[in-house]
Amino acid sequence: MIQIIPAIDIIEGRCVRLSQGDFARRSTYPETPSEMADLFAAAGLTRIHAVDLEGAKVGAPRNLDVLKALSERGDLDIEWGGGIQNSADLDAIFSAGAGHVILGTVAATDPSFAREALKRFGPERIVLGADVRGKAVATRGWTETTEQGIEDLIRLFLPALKEVIVTQIARDGMFSGADVPLYRELMDLFPEVTFTASGGIGSIGDIRALEEAGVPRVIVGKALYEKKITLEELAAW
């Protein structure tokens, strides 16, 4: 059964969602991150995907107070990403209570640092976050697209790497369905890696399509905030 991971994207302490990674197309919601966490926990969803979008854009963590508040609840496993550049950032995020840290831009720009992080904290706590346009990796809060492909990025960290979140930017926030063929291809190429799908979820049918394809995890974001999928529906998982 596929694992549902609800998303909390954060700018200036507020819950937001972007469309196709465009900061100019931002929706801000009235619920606080803590209020959303309450709702997710009540529905039995205990692993939370939280991204410091503000930090991702400027290249340094900016919302660690939010992480600390979420982690102090004690009933949530927080995977946190955004703006991580060095060991001090990693230490600060783990100290604030993250269960897992997502390495995105820094994994593409400084692979040796990401390898060292995997060695130091282990693949159980370090997750590769690969944001892609097509198959090209994007960095710096999705504002830059590189020439590096997703497959080449993953290969840089094998065999240590165990978890990868792949976000298809063109579908993110668009409710157009997940890029199922991409996830099938990646799972075939890297059977030792646990993949999390992200981007495009707009209905329960989109989740079922991933589940039928064998994708083990999916992040659900804007569809929850816009009430296209209800927490009651997700409680089945």
Q: Which residues contact 136 (CB under 8 A, 6 or more apart)?
A: 145, 146, 147, 148, 149, 150
Question: DSSP alpha helices (H): ranges in the chain?
Answer: 33-42, 53-58, 64-71, 87-95, 105-109, 111-121, 150-155, 180-189, 204-213, 222-225, 231-234
Q: Report the chain's mean pLDDT, rounded to a whole number.
A: 94
Q: Does 131 participate in catalysis according to the annotation?
A: yes
pLDDT score, position 119: 98
pLDDT score, position 16: 94
Which token pair is 181? 């063929």
- 92 CB-contact burial (10 Å; exposed 0-12 / middle 13-18 / buried 19+): middle
- The total domain count for the chain is 1
CATH of the domain at 201: 3.20.20.70
Task: Write the DSSP symbol of residue 176.
Answer: S
CA distance 25 to 32: 20
At 114, phi and psi to the nearest 5?
Answer: -65, -40
What are the tens digits of pLDDT across the range 172-226?
A: 878 999 999 999 999 999 999 999 999 999 999 999 999 999 999 999 999 999 9
When pLDDT is averaged across residues 72-84 and rounded to a whole number, the result is 95
pLDDT-based confidence at 235, cuts 50/70/90?
A: confident
Which token pair is 186? 């990646």
Which member of 9, 52, 89, 172 is catalytic? 9
Which member of 52, 131, 172, 206 is catalytic? 131
Q: Does 179 participate in catalysis according to the annotation?
A: no
> How big is the chain, counted in residues?
237
pLDDT score, position 141: 65
- Which domain range does residue 138 map to? 3-234
